[in-house]
C-alpha cells in the first residue's frame, strides 16, 4: 500500500499545524493508516504537492487563491484543528477515495 503524504498547514507552520498533526497522528494510528506527516506554513504548502492538506477553516480563502490541482491534493478544512472527532470524520472518506483505507 502506498504511503499517503499529509501536510498540516497554518500561518507560521509551527504551532497550530503541529498541534493538528499530533491529533491526526492518533486518529491515523487508530485507523491503522501509515502516513508521511509534516507541517508547514501556508506560503510553502502548495509546492510540497502532498496527497492531503489539513488546515483550519479560516485559510479557505487563501487556498482558493492558489492553484491547487484537486486530482493531486485534497484540502480538508477543519473548524477545530485539534478535534480528533472532526479529523476522523473528515479524513476517513478522503482516505477511502485515495485508496489507502478500505471502504
Partner 1 sequence: MKERTQRIFARFLRVSAPLTVEDLSKEFRVSERTLRNEVVRINEYLIQHQYPAITTARGTGMTLLLPEQETRVLLERIEETRAKDYYRPDERFLSLLLEIADTSRVTLLYEMEEQLQVSKSTLDEDMRKLRQYLNPYGIAVVSLTKQGIVLQGDERSIRSMLFEAIHNQVDIEQLTQGKSSDVITEFALRYLDRDVLRVLGKLYDERLEKADAETNHVYRNQIILFAAVWARRVREGNTVSESTKTRAEIKEGPVRRFADEICAELSLFPSLHEIKYMTFSIESFKPKDMNSSFDWVAAQLLTIQLIEHMEKVTGIPFSQEEEDLHEGLYRHITGLLSRSQNNLQAFNPLKDTIKESYGAMYQAVACFGQQIEAYTKTCLSEDEIGFLTVYFSTSASRMHEEEQEVYQAVVVCNHGISTGKLLAANLKRQFNIDIVAVLSTYELSFIDKLDVDLIFATIPIEYPKKPILLLNPILMESDKKEVSAFLTEHNNHRRKISNKLDATKLMQDVLSLIVDSGGNVTPSSYQQVENTFKRHQLKINTRELQPMLQDVLTDTHILLNQEGADWREVITKVAEPLLDSGVIEQRYVSAMIKSVEEFGAYIVVGKHLALAHARPEDGVNELGISVMTLKDPVSFGHPDNDPVKIVFCLAAINSHSHIKIMKNLVELIDDNEKLEKLFAAQDVVTFNEVLHGEAPFQDN
- The SS3 assignment for 55 reads strand
If one asks whether residue 62 binds partner 1 (CB under 8 A), the answer comes out as yes
DSSP state of 33: -
If one asks whether residue 13 binds partner 1 (CB under 8 A), the answer comes out as yes
CA 58 – CA 62 distance, rounded (Å): 8
If one asks whether residue 82 binds partner 1 (CB under 8 A), the answer comes out as yes
If one asks whether residue 34 binds partner 1 (CB under 8 A), the answer comes out as no
CB of 66 to partner 1, least distance (A): 13
- Choice from 29, 30, 66, 80 touching partner 1 (CB under 8 A): 80
Q: Which three cell numbers stand for residue 46?
A: 502548495
Residues near 39 by beta carbon (within 8 Å), at least 6 away in sequence: 7, 8, 9, 10, 13, 14, 17, 18, 20, 21
CB of 75 to partner 1, least distance (A): 14
Which residues would be at the binding site for partner 1 (CB under 8 A)? Answer: 10-16, 18-20, 22-23, 37-39, 41-42, 56-59, 62, 79-82
Amino acid at each position: 500500500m502506498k504511503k499517503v503524504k499529509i501536510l498540516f498547514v497554518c500561518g507560521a507552520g509551527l504551532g497550530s499545524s503541529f498541534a493538528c498533526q499530533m491529533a491526526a497522528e492518533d486518529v491515523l494510528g487508530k485507523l491503522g493508516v501509515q502516513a508521511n506527516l509534516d507541517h508547514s506554513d501556508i506560503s510553502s504548502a502548495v509546492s510540497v504537492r502532498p496527497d492531503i492538506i489539513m488546515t483550519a477553516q479560516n485559510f479557505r480563502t487563501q487556498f482558493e487563491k492558489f492553484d491547487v490541482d484537486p486530482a493531486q491534493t485534497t484540502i480538508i478544512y477543519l473548524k477545530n484543528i485539534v478535534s480528533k472527532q472532526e479529523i476522523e470524520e473528515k479524513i476517513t472518506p478522503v482516505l477511502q477515495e485515495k485508496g489507502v483505507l478500505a471502504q
